[in-house]
Amino acid sequence: MNTHTAHIKTPLGIARLISNENGITEITVIDDASDAILTTQIPESLQNCAQQLREYFEGTRTAFQLQLAPKGTPFQQKVWTALNDIPFGKTYSYLELSKKLGDVKAIRAVAAANGKNPLWIVTPCHRVIGSDGSLTGYAGGLWRKKWLLEHESPVKQQSLF
């Protein structure tokens, strides 16, 4: 299976985009930028993804229209599909997500599947928070989760200084 990879700069670090003939398989943020060289010529299969991510960060895109092909178990796929239903600017708790999936007792499994989401930002796992409103676990780092939620917030915080 042919795969294509690109590395693009975002306000939160270098993002690695990977696709195959079925669609986008992975979007991850790389903490160690020395692991990646920015792509000067983005493969055709990733150009739309790179453009939509740029628009998201510019504040002109609130939803993604991409052919996605993440690899995961059937349960993980079910959780990731449910994540895609969380609207821009909204959050769900892990408990709400578990209820939506039909099994409140599956909260730990839902949280684990959320943490394995291979499609950073596009499948919005950052929109899932603790029942008490806390920013619980995020594979990309809590500071990125906070940034993303503030970026999507309909009420922009004004600086006093």
Both tokens of residue 150? 């503030």
Phi, psi of 50 (to 5 degrees): -60, -40
Query: Which long-range contacts does 9-16 make (Cβ < 8 Å, 24+ apart)?
Result: 9/38, 10/53, 10/57, 11/57, 11/147, 12/140, 12/144, 12/147, 12/148, 13/144, 14/38, 15/53, 15/120
Closest by CA to 36, choosing from 55, 56, 13, 57, is: 13
Q: Which of 42, 125, 128, 148 is catalytic?
A: 125
49 is catalytic: no
Residues designated catalytic = 125
